[in-house]
Amino acid sequence: MPEADRNADVGETAASGGATAAEPVLKVRDLSTRFFTEEGQVNAVESVSFDVHDGEVFGIVGESGSGKSVTALSIIDLVESPGRITAGEVWYRNADLAADMREEHPEAIDGEYVDTRRVPEGVRRSLRGPAFSMIFQDPMSSFNPSITVGEQLAEAVEVQQRARANPRSTRSRTQGYGLGRYLSDWMLPSRSFVSTESRDRAISLLDQVGIPDPADRADEYPNQFSGGMLQRAMVAQALAGEPDVLIADEPTTALDVTIQAQILGLLRDLQDEADMSVITITHDLGVIARMCDRVGVMYAGEIAERGTLGDVFDRPIHPYTEGLLGSIPDLDDPAPRLQPIEGNVPELLDAEMGNRCYFADRCPKAMDECVAEKPAEVGIEGSDEHRVRCVLADHEYDPARALSTTEREREASADD
């Protein structure tokens, strides 16, 4: 879809929703997540900020250990011990919720926005499903192997319905599942505890994600599904709550290319139909190019560069972005030699993360100022969206000030 059309679409839907296109559905500000491990404090996510607009696909791309998955988990508050979200705000636009919360938590409200980091945990939990839902990388381990796929979906549907009926209550998740119910389930483990309506909804969800013969497949167990089919089922599960924002964490990494093409096509169709916002997290630049309107490139827990797809892919400023693009062999136009980034991804131990650019010791364009101070994120002229955390955004590379090899080695050995 051409750029202009897409913007028009966004504008239209946003207008019908009573807001303007400029107001994103999700604003993440200075989000930081730390892991407190035996080896020390790991800064997995370091002051990350970005916006997600209505009906757009925002991509986060990065290598393993760049903090992209932890960012996603932090948004929906699923970070587990020893990890903890230590700072930041996640502003979610929802007028109803804002009105509800204004009395009790005025500090968490800003117009139509609610800072999910500052509302009680129960409220935050109730947002999982109707506001945010997530697709994980490995569909096999995301389903319980001993319950049929249909029943698991129907359960998700019921949970969402209860949450919808009483959205602010923490009890909503377990309502209607009392002691008697528990005992009867325990005595008759095979007894289904989902209603016929939920089951029908589950089947229609399976149909929606393109599973043939959904009524029959609903009665099958996860191991009877192929990887691609199971990934479709997981998409169906994520759709059960009709979320505003769908977070897809490496949705196709475990799949073969032909199946990947199916799933990407499905996600795009669903996003067009339901007009969801999608956050796609992946290491695959091809997936980003196929899915996303705007993209953030993560390195060492930070967003190194973000902007529209064109900004990042065609006019990259950050040497890391350039390096990533130079590292992948082009299928249509093979270069004789790849231009890899030397060195390895840092381990993000707090003790080793000084006040400097984290990419400097792998950077082919590192200069003296890169290790003197951490560069700030600056906007790039010519695009409203394009922002880069690199000194090159400010001035050109000057070989005279290049970080000398000895200095670079000193930096590197300091890391060891």
Partner 1 sequence: MTDGRDGRDRSSRERRGATERAGTEGDALLDVEDLHKYYFERDSLVDRLLGRDARSVKAVDGVDFRVHPGETLGLVGESGCGKSTTGETLLRLREATDGKVRFDGESVFDLSGAELMEFRKRAGIVFQDPYSSLDPRMTVGELVAEPLAVHDEPADAENRTEARRERVDELLERVGLSATQRDRYPHEFSGGQRQRVGIARALALEPDFLVLDEPVSALDVSVQAQILNLLADLQQEFGLTYLFIAHDLSVVRHLCDRVAVMYLGEIVESGPTEELFEEPRHPYTRALLESVPRASTDERDREIEPLAGDVPSPRHPPSGCRFRTRCPAVIPPSDVEIPQETYREVMDLRERLESGAMNTERARELAAEHGNERGNGVNTNGEEGRVEDRGDATTETAARLCTVLFENDIGGENRAVVTETLGHLLDGERDEAVSMLRDRFESVCERQRPVLQAGPHPAACHLYDQPTERPNANPAERTADD
Partner 2 sequence: MISPRTIRNLKAEFRGSALAKLGLCIVVLVVAVAVLAPVLAPHDPTAQNLDRSQLPPVGFSTTTNSTSTEMVNGSLQVVNETTEINATLTYPLGTDSLGRDMLSRVIYGARTSLLVGLLGTGLAAVIGVTVGLVAGYYRGRVDDALMRSADVMLAFPSLVLAIALVGLWGRAAWSVPDPLVVLGITPEMPASFVLPGTVIVVVGLVNWVWFARVARGEALSVREESYIKAARSVGASDSFVIRKHVLPNSATPVLVLATIQIAAIILLESALSFLGFSGTTLSWGFDIAQGRDYLASSWWISTVPGVAIVITVIGINLVGDWLRDALDPGIGGEGGSGGA
Q: Are 51 and 28 in contact (CB under 8 A)?
A: yes
User: Quick check: 28 and 54 in contact, CB under 8 A?
Assistant: no
Residue 123 to residue 119: CA distance in whole angstroms = 6
Q: 64 to 123, contacts with partner 2 by CB under 8 A?
A: 64-70, 80, 82-83
24 binds partner 2 (CB under 8 A): no
Q: How far is the CB of 301 from partner 2 (least distance, A)?
A: 7
Binding site for partner 1 (CB under 8 A): 1-2, 63-64, 212-213, 215-216, 226, 228-229, 256-262, 264-265, 283-291, 309-310, 313-314, 323-332, 334-335, 337-342, 344-345
In the complex with partner 1, the residue whose CB is nearer, 158 or 322, is 322
**Binding test (CB under 8 A) with partner 2, winner from 12, 63, 220, 415:** 63
User: Rounded to whole angstroms, how far apart are CA atoms 386 and 345?
Assistant: 24
Output the smallest distance, CB 325 to partner 1, in A. Answer: 7
Size of the site for partner 2 (CB under 8 A): 27
The one among 10, 25, 44, 391 contacting partner 2 by CB under 8 A: 44
In angstroms, what is the minimal distance from the CB of 4 to partner 2? 34
Cα→Cα distances 42→15, 100, 327, 365, Å: 42, 37, 27, 27
Which partner from the list partner 1, partner 2, none does 38 bind, CB cut-off 5 to 8 Å by kind? partner 2
Which residue lies nearer to partner 1 by CB, 175 or 327?
Answer: 327
What span, in angstroms and rounded, lies between the C-alpha atoms of 89 and 128? Answer: 17
Residues in region 266-295 near partner 2 by CB under 8 A: 281, 283
> What are the residues binding partner 2 (CB under 8 A)?
35, 37-39, 42, 44-45, 62-70, 80, 82-83, 137, 249-250, 281, 283, 301, 347-348
